[in-house]
Amino acid sequence: MPWPTRDRSVQPGRRTAICVIDDILDCLSARRSPCVQDGETARPNRETILGLNREDFTDAPTLALRYRRGRTGCGAGARSDPPPDGTPTRVRGTVEKLDDHNLTVKSRDGQSLSITLAPDVDIITLVKKSLADIKPGDFVASTGVKDKDGKIHAIEARIFPKATPDGGRQFAWDLMPDSVMTNATVGTVTKAAQGAVLHVTFTGGESEYSIGPDVPILANAPGDMSLLKPGAAVFVIALKKPDGTVTAARLYAEKDGIKPPM
């Protein structure tokens, strides 16, 4: 059966829902906000927008509410976050030299990599905190390693001033085998024989991990280009372009002996 159209002769209860969906589609098209799926762009349609079923068209208030809740996935979020022009790349290593905004880094595998820094590159440093500084409600990013039993043991934790726009998530990390990154809001901090156990929540899930007494607890602080001296440790959030060049608009730099541990 074909999808309903804007024919005003349809039943009143369904007509309102149809108008809501068509208004959404018109809004997205007018703002030139295509959905991104696997690197391709396509104008959304009634079948794909928010994963709606035919039955959803009978309830306009519910439909409008689901659109408002989901618009960061394909609406407002798509307008502000276009797909990156390249492959996200993490570079860990030490500075070899800095020539204007061209940074050469000796990566941990021994190779020299040239990175073009943005004119307004954001340089971040880290300052020491303690386990006692982590409180329920804090947003914490932590690199951890999964044990054979599936439990996560933190090897570093960083207290953020506020939650990330996506509400946090947990995903595989490339620091070492079986490492995982958890960006999440702290629910509880439970003391353990050695350190503490954090129960955290993030968008779509929850987790917990242990923090030992020797795990570095850190927080972000501002930095500047003067920190990019030969030998300084850096962690660069970079983008590898199709032509092979590497650019970056954000990086962590060593300061006062505190190296980026992630």
What DSSP line would sit under 68-119, residue for residue? HHHHHHHSHHHHH-PPPSSEEEEEEEEEEEEETTEEEEEETTS-EEEEEEEE
Let me know: does 190 contact 197? Beta carbons within 8 Å. yes
Reported as half-sphere exposure (CB side, CA atoms, 13 A), residue 7 has a value of: 7
Report whether 173 contacts 179 (CB < 8 A).
yes
- Confidence at residue 84, expressed as pLDDT on a 0 to 100 scale: 67
Note the pTM of the prediction, 2 decimals: 0.68
Q: What is the pLDDT of residue 85?
A: 81
Half-sphere exposure of 156 (CA within 13 A, CB side): 19
Phi, psi for 183 (deg, rounded to 5): -110, 110
Residue (of 230, 248, 256) closest to 117 by Cα position: 248
How far, in Å, CA of 52 to CA of 63, rounded? 9
pLDDT at 87: 95
Which residues are 215's β-sheet partners? none
Strand partners, 116: 102, 247
Q: Which residues contact 164 (CB under 8 A, 6 or more apart)?
A: 139, 183
Q: pLDDT of 40-98, one tens digit each?
A: 233 343 333 334 333 333 333 333 333 334 433 333 333 445 666 889 999 999 999 99
Q: For residues 183-221, b (16+ Cβ closer than 10 Å) or e, as one string? A: bbbbeebeeeeebbbbebebeeeebebbbeeebbbbbee
Rounded-to-integer distance, Cα 202 and Cα 88, Å? 22
Domain ranges in the chain?
Answer: 12-80, 84-262
Let me know: does 115 contact 89? Beta carbons within 8 Å: no
Residue 6 has, within 13 A of its CA and on its CB side, a CA count of 7
Return d(Cα 260, Cα 236) in angstroms, integer. Answer: 10
Angle, CA of 121, 93 and 220, to the nearest 5°: 50
Q: Which spans in the chain are helix H?
A: 12-30, 60-74, 76-80
Q: Which residues of the chain are modeled with pLDDT < 70?
A: 1-84
Instruction: Compute how many other C-beta atoms are within 10 angstroms of the C-beta atom of residue 254.
Output: 21
